[in-house]
C-alpha cells in the first residue's frame, strides 16, 4: 500500500512495533528484512561515517551508488570501504560539468561543511560555506530522490539559512522535520549533538522522527524510567544505559609507536605522541578523572601557561581528563592535543589515540582510514558517528518501505 498523506496513516502502534523490529534486527547483527534494497547518495561524504550507518555493516538495506568530497584522503577512505564511486572535486564545479551524471537514488544524505554555522567560527555571518546546502538540493533534484537527510551543527536550526533550506525543500514538494539529536541517546559513547533535517515527498516525517532513544542517562534513572513506555519522543522498550569511555576503550593496551602502522586493527591506529617533559609534568599534575586546566593552575601554577592564568572563565574542558564511567565529550579533529579539549586518557598520562577517538565515534575497528595521521584525525573528528546515523537510517528505512506498492 502506498500512503500519500500523513492523515492516511496516523502515528500508530504499527509504527512503534516497526521501529523496534528494525532496531532489534540491526543490533542483533542481521540484515534488516527488506522488500528491496535502496539506493543512496552521500554528498560532502567525508570518510563516510553517515554512509556507514546506512550500510550493510550496520544491518541496513541501503547501497551507496554515488558520493562526493573535495578532500582526496576522504575520497580514498570512502572508496576503500564502500566501492569506487566517490568522486573527488568541488560539488559546484562537478554539477557544472556536463560529463558528471548523478545517478538515480532513493535517498540523498549529507552534511554540508558545518564550520560556517559553528560557534567556533567568528566569521560565520559572511562565511560562504553556509551556502553549500544549495548544491545538496541540486543533487536531490537530479537524482529523483523522494527522501533526503541533511546533517549539521545544532546552530543551523536557529539560522536564517535554515528558513531558506526549509523553504526550498517545501518548494520542491518535501515535507520537512528537523531535530537536534544527542549521540549518547543512541549508543555512541560521546555526548555529541548534531542537527538533522529530514525531507519526504509522500509522508510527513514528523510522525516518525526523531527516532526513540535506545540509551538513557543512568544518573537520572528515576526520571528516565517514567518514559520507558514507547511514547513518542520517548525510549525504546529495552533502552540501555549510556555507553561510556570505559565501554569503548578500556580493553586497549598501552599505545605503541608514534605513527600509523601497516598491521591489523586495532593497533594500526593505536599509537602515541612524543610529548615534551613539560607536557608530561602537566599531565601528571592532574591525575584524577575530570580534572582540567583550572585544577592544573591550582596544583601546579608554575606549570600553567600564562595565557590560561589570564583567562579566568570559559574553556572548562581545555586540558581536561576524561571520566571512565561517563561518555566522552565531543571528539573534534585535534583530539590528540589536550590543550584543545577534554582529551586526556582517564588514567594514563597522555592524550587519546586515533583508535580511541575512532571508537568513541563508534567506528568499528575494521573500518579503513587512508591518509596521514593528521588527515585521519580530521576524518574521525568530522564524521557523523555511525551509530547515530544508523538510528536515523532506521527512520529513513521506514519512510521508504511505506512508499512501496
Helices (H), 172-290: 221-225, 245-249, 277-285
Burial class from Cβ neighbours inside 10 Å (0-12, 13-18, 19+) for residue 373 reads middle
Please write down the long-range contacts of 141-146, taking CB distance under 8 Å and 24 or more positions apart.
141/172, 142/95, 142/102, 143/41, 143/66, 143/102, 143/103, 143/104, 143/105, 143/108, 144/104, 144/105, 145/41, 145/105, 145/106, 145/107, 145/108, 146/106, 146/107, 146/200, 146/201, 146/202, 146/403
- Higher-scoring residue by pLDDT: 32, 207: 207
Q: Which of 256-270, 307-321, 361-375, 376-390 has the lowest mean pLDDT?
A: 307-321
405 pLDDT band, cuts 50/70/90, is: low
229 pLDDT band, cuts 50/70/90, is: low
Residue closest to 22 by CA, chosen among 64, 65, 58: 58
Q: Can you tell me which residue has the cell 559546484?
A: 92
> Average pLDDT in the 275-282 region?
96
11 pLDDT band, cuts 50/70/90, is: very low
What SS3 state is found at 239?
strand
Domain annotation for the chain: domains and CATH numbers: 6-244+385-402 (3.40.50.150), 247-382 (3.90.120)
pLDDT at 23: 85
Evaluate the omega torsion of the peptide bond into residue 81 and state whether it is cis, within 30 degrees of 0: no
pLDDT at 32: 73
**Rounded CA separation 68/116 (Å):** 19
pLDDT at 5: 43
Evaluate if residue 54 carries a pLDDT over 60.
yes
- Higher-scoring residue by pLDDT: 291, 36: 291
Element holding 15 (H helix, E strand)? helix 13-27
Tell me the three cell numbers of residue 300: 601546579
Amino acid at each position: 500500500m502506498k500512503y500519500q498523506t500523513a492523515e492516511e496513516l496516523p502515528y500508530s502502534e504499527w509504527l512503534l512495533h516497526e521501529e523496534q523490529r528494525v532496531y532489534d534486527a540491526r543490533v542483533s547483527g542481521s540484515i534488516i528484512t527488506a522488500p528491496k534494497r535502496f539506493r543512496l547518495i552521500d554528498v560532502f561524504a567525508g570518510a563516510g561515517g553517515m554512509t556507514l550507518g546506512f550500510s550493510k555493516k550496520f544491518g541496513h538495506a541501503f547501497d551507496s551508488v554515488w558520493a562526493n568530497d573535495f578532500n582526496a584522503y576522504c575520497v580514498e577512505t570512502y572508496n576503500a570501504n564502500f566501492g569506487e564511486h566517490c568522486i573527488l572535486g568541488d560539488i559546484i564545479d562537478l554539477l557544472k560539468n556536463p560529463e558528471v551524471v548523478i545517478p538515480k537514488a532513493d535517498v540523498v544524505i549529507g552534511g554540508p561543511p558545518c564550520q560556517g554555522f559553528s560557534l567556533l567560527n567568528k566569521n560565520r555571518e559572511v562565511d560562504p560555506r553556509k551556502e553549500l546546502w544549495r548544491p545538496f538540493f541540486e543533487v536531490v533534484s537530479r537524482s529523483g530522490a523522494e527522501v533526503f537527510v541533511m546533517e549539521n551543527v545544532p546552530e543551523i536550526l536557529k539560522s536564517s539559512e535554515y528558513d531558506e533550506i526549509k523553504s526550498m525543500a517545501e518548494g520542491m514538494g518535501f515535507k520537512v522535520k528537523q531535530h537536534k539529536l544527542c549521540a549518547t541517546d543512541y549508543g555512541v559513547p560521546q555526548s555529541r549533538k548534531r542537527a538533522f533535517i529530514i525531507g519526504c515527498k509522500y509522508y510527513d516525517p514528523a510522525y516518525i522522527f526523531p527516532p526513540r532513544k535506545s540509551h538513557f542517562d543512568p544518573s537520572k534513572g528515576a526520571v528516565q524510567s517514567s518514559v520507558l513506555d514507547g511514547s513518542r519522543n520517548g525510549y525504546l522498550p529495552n533502552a540501555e544505559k549510556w555507553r561510556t569511555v570505559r565501554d569503548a576503550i578500556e580493553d586497549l593496551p598501552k599505545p605503541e609507536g608514534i605513527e600509523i602502522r601497516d598491521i591489523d586493527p586495532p593497533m594500526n591506529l593505536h599509537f602515541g605522541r612524543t610529548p615534551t617533559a613539560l607536557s608530561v609534568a602537566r599531565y601528571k599534575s592532574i591525575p584524577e578523572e575530570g580534572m582540567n586546566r583550572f585544577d592544573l593552575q591550582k596544583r601546579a601554577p608554575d606549570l600553567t601557561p600564562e595565557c590560561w592564568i589570564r583567562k579566568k572563565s570559559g574553556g572548562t574542558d581545555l586540558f581536561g581528563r576524561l571520566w571512565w564511567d561517563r561518555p566522552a565529550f565531543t571528539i573534534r579533529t585535534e583530539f590528540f592535543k589536550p590543550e584543545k579539549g577534554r582529551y586526556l586518557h582517564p588514567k594514563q598520562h597522555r592524550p587519546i589515540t586515533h583508535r580511541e577517538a575512532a571508537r568513541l565515534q563508534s567506528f568499528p575497528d575494521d573500518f579503513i582510514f587512508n591518509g596521514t595521521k593528521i588527515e585521519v584525525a580530521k576524518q574521525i573528528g568530522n564524521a557523523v558517528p555511525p551509530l547515530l546515523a544508523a538510528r536515523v537510517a532506521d527512520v529513513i528505512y521506514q519512510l521508504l518501505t511505506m512508499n512501496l506498492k
